Structures are given as C-alpha cells and as structure tokens.
Chain A
Amino acid sequence: METPQYVAARIQRALAEDERTNELGIRVDVRGDQVFLRGQVSCEERRHGIEDVAREAAPGLTVHNEVQLLEVSDPGEEEHL
C-alpha cells in the first residue's frame, strides 16, 4: 500500500491545483484506506467539487467529506480601536 503521507500530500496538491477546486484551505488526513477531508467552503457545489477531486486523486480509498458550509452571520458589534 502507498504511504499515507504521500497520498495525503497528493490529494492536498490536487485540491489546490485542480481548476475545479483551487482550494488551499482543506485539511486532508489519511488513515489506512480512509481519507478525511475537513475545512469550510461557501456552497454545496464547491463541497462536492472537493470530494470529486479527492476521489480521483485517491482511487480505491474511501473518502469522507467532512467539509462544512461556511456560515456567515450579520456583522456583530463594532470594535473601538
């Protein structure tokens, strides 16, 4: 089996460089044949795109997409500087 560290690095690089994603802020962990993706993105389409690119970069492994949708709330209290 391929060394997990190299698999994780390859997935992370694919997420950054693949034009479908260009996501630099996704954490990738590989444990045995399980891949875990974590981070935050703005919409469901981007969440799915990340999963697609990760699956292609890690054929045969099980990908767990734990990427969350970024919740943006209204502006809070202002800070006085």
Chain B
Amino acid sequence: MRALRIAAVADIHLGEDIRGHYRKKLEGIEHRAEVLLVGGDLTRHGTIEEGQVVADELGDLPIPVVAVLGNHDYHSDADREIAAMLRDAGIIVLDDDAVVIPLDGTRLGVAGGKGFGGGFAGKCASEFGEPETKAFVRHTKEIAERWRHALKNLEADHRVVLSHYSPVKDTLAGEPPEIYPFLGSYLLAEAADAEGADLIVHGHAHLGTEKGMTPGGIRVRNVALPVIGHSYVVYCLDGEGVH
C-alpha cells in the first residue's frame, strides 16, 4: 500500500468580506496533496450567503474535498442548506457518516462530522439532572455512537476521522481550561480508539496546539487556521493503515 498525502485545514470562517482570498491560497494544492479535509467553521455566521462563498472557494478544486460543518455554520439554522450547497459544488460533506475515496488505487476512508462538547475523562458533564444538561451530553453520546458505527463499517486502506470539536485535551493547550467542556469530548476519541483510525483532524480551538494523541495512540491534529498559520497543512500517511 502506498503513502497518501492529505491536506487539512479548519476554521476558515469565510464571508463576502474575504471572498477570493482563500481560493488563491489553494492554487497548486494538487501538487502537494491528493485530498483536502476541512474541519468545520467554514463560515462566520452560518448564513446561506456565506455558504455560497464557501461553495465558490472550495468547489471545483482539482482534488477531492471532504468537509464537516462547525458550530458557526449552525448559527443561522441554515446548516442543511449550506451542506446541500456544498454538495452541489462537488464537496463531500460528512454528517456523522463516512466516505471511501479511491485515490489512484488506494482507498482513503474518512469518517466524522461536527462532533460536540462535554469535556474530558474525569472532568466532564454527565447525562444527569436537568433536561438541558441531559440533552447536551446525549447529543455528544449519539454522535460518538454514529462515528463508531461509521468506522466499524469503513473498508479502506487508510482511515481518517474528520471533526470540528476536539477528541482530546492535548490539542487544546493554550485555551483557558475552564472552557474545555465546550471545545470537545473524550467520547469522540473513545469511538475512534475502539474502531481504529490512522489520524484524527479537528479545528474549533483557535488558541490550541497542533499536535496531540488519543489514549489509544491515534495521532490528533488541530488544524484551525490560527493554530497552523498556513493555508493548510499536509500529512503524509505512510505504511500500513489501521484495521
């Protein structure tokens, strides 16, 4: 099995005011990577208009683009419309499911979705008490369960999880610890560790750190634009994938 070069970025927060700028940064990406993963917060306010900017900036690239939405993309209750617009532009949008992309004889499997918060083992919210608290925690639990299912059925040579929220604390270093429960959940990492993956890519934590690892040893990368400081980063998955 050959190595795969995966470009990744998150939190591009596009809008009319910066239309055209990000697209320029993607010129020549086909020489650097075989696929682009975009980990949510594609927009600032989650409006249809901003969704159109995203579709225009990320559409018609010479390599496949896989995206998930982030919390900003939900803000105007137009998440479904935005996802549909992106799909119309040829972008693969994951919503707690998976896709297998054949790349010159090698199958890349990508599973994931927005993810959600709740916190990290030992310091997290539980499904207990008021209905509002239960609903918050249940949302993450249900997402993690759907990811587990998606990964279980994912037949591919390399497997990557794409999320907006973080699965681990490592990549949040730099954020105030008080807000960790709003930045991610260990349930996301637990799902990936249970079913196996080569890499988890996420965004959301602008003040965080690029590199981390799950308790099961899966590499985690926070690719939020302010964290990486580049238009995208490229990860090369070498050797044997995880099965």
Judged by a CB distance under 8 angstroms, whether A19 is at the interface is yes
Instruction: Say if the beta carbon of A22 comes within 8 Å of chain B.
Output: yes
Task: For the complex, give the distance between the alpha carbons of A71 and B231 in Å.
Answer: 9
- Give B34 Cβ to nearest chain A Cβ, in Å: 12
In the complex, chain B residues whose CB is within 8 Å of the CB of A71: 229
Contacts of A76 in B (CB 8 A): 230, 233
B69 to chain A, nearest CB (A): 15
Which residues of A lie under 8 Å from residue B233 when comparing CB positions?
75-76, 78-79
Say yes or no: is A80 at the interface (Cβ < 8 Å to chain B): yes
Q: Is the CB of B238 within 8 A of A80?
A: yes
**Measured between alpha carbons, how far is A43 from B18 in the docked complex, in Å?**
7
On whether the beta carbons of B226 and A75 are closer than 8 Å, the reply is no
Taking residues whose C-beta sits less than 8 angstroms from the other chain, chain A's interface range is 20 to 34
Closest to A75 in B: B230
Q: Evaluate contact between B198 and A70: CB separation under 8 angstroms.
A: no
Set A25, A40, A43, A78: member contacting B235, Cβ < 8 A:
A78
Q: Mark A6-30, 1 if CB is under 8 A from B, else 0.
A: 0000000000000100100100000
Interface string of B193-215 (1 = CB under 8 A from A): 00000110000001100000000
Q: Does A81 contact B (CB under 8 A)?
A: yes
Known: A45-B17, A81-B237. A75 touches B32 (CB 8 A): yes
B interface footprint on A51-81 (CB within 8 Å = 1, 0 otherwise):
0000000000000000000111111101111
Inter-subunit contact B25/A72 (CB<8 Å): yes
CA distance A71 to B230 in the complex (A): 8
- Contact: B238 with A25, CB < 8 Å? no
Centre residue among A25, A71, A73 by max chain B CB count within 10 A: A25
Inter-chain contacts of B238 with A (CB < 8 A): 80-81
Interchain CB contact under 8 A, A73 and B231: yes
Asked if B225 is at the interface (CB within 8 A of a chain A CB), the reply is yes
Q: Give the interface of A toward B (CB within 8 A).
A: 19, 22, 25, 39-40, 42-43, 45-46, 70-76, 78-81
